[in-house]
Amino acid sequence: MLLALIFDVDGTLADTERDGHRIAFNRAFAEAALPWHWNVEQYGELLHVAGGQERLLHFMRGVVPEIPESRRTALASALHARKTEHYLSLIEAGAVSLRPGIARLLREVHAQGCLLAIATTTTRANVHALLEHTLPQALSWVAVIGAADDAALKKPDPGIYRFVLARLGLHPAECLAIEDSAAGLRAAMAAGLPTLVTVNDYSRGQDFSGALAVVNSLGEPEAPAQSMAGAMLKGSHVDLAQLREWHAASIANML
Ligand code: XBP
Ligand code: MG
């Protein structure tokens, strides 16, 4: 039985990577008079490193290899702290909206008494800000938020999903994860979770083997989603009935 949906945040709830985190990093670079600017494509390549600070450190090892690692780490940490402030300002200014179908599905899941949880690599403050400025009611609907500091390792490590499952007190077979990336899918699957993937421009083309289904968005009745791999979407959009059906089939396959 499907008792809880566990949502990823960046790239799944909203296109926060392209329109939020990337722009916030660029603002932090400009403010520090650094000659760095990440365009949409370059940021997509950097996304293979999970975690904003880790991503920045990886980039800096390439562009400023001459400075000692300890100084590089300190600079990355300071820049990342400023980046988070810029990110929060962008979210407050409404720079990012929820992806199609997200608000609809969150409302439906809450109304039908299914639990909602979040498993993300970004900070709790960033998750709060995003929901507060897009669908504030959802903050009280979410039973558990697992964020950056709640797991020692970032996705694709399953730690954050294991943390959320422990807090929910549920078995992975009672839940379904919704992710946008191959790293997120690997994390969820390693925690034993049946997983739906909703791709975006950054993750399209990644390896989603093992996903329950892959769609190009959750869709809306007037803006249909498309199936890309795995189980086919029956109607125009992903709703709770569709998720229950995919989930039941995946559990039956496991038996
Ligand atoms: C995606 C991430 C995050 C963001 C940046 O997280 O890897 O690190 O890119 O956020 P998700 P921070 O699991 O939600 O897809 O700078 O706060 O790390
Ligand atoms: Mg993601």
Give the mean pLDDT of the chain: 97
**pLDDT tens sequence across 105-154:** 999 999 999 999 999 999 999 999 999 999 999 999 999 999 999 999 99
Q: At what angle do helices 159-168 and 182-190 cross, to 10 degrees?
A: 50
Cα dihedral 23, 131, 199, 123, rounded to 10, equals: 60
- Residue tagged 């600070």 (tokens): 53
**pLDDT tens sequence across 43-93:** 999 999 999 999 999 999 999 999 999 999 999 999 999 999 999 999 999
Is the CB–ligand 1 distance for residue 126 below 6 Å? Answer: yes
Is the CB–ligand 1 distance for residue 155 below 6 Å? Answer: yes
Enzyme catalytic residues: 8, 10
Peptide bond into 224 cis (omega under 30): no
Ligand 1 centre distance from Cα of residue 188 (Å)? 15
In Å, what is the CA distance from 45 to each residue of 42, 52, 65, 90, 188? 5, 13, 19, 22, 22
Ligand 1 centre distance from Cα of residue 245 (Å)? 30
Closest ligand, as measured to the CA of 46: 1
**pLDDT tens sequence across 215-244:** 999 999 999 999 999 999 999 999 999 999
Is the CB–ligand 1 distance for residue 11 below 6 Å? Answer: yes
Identity of the residue numbered 207? D
Ligand 1 centre distance from Cα of residue 66 (Å)? 27
Q: Are 186 and 13 in contact (CB under 8 A)?
A: no
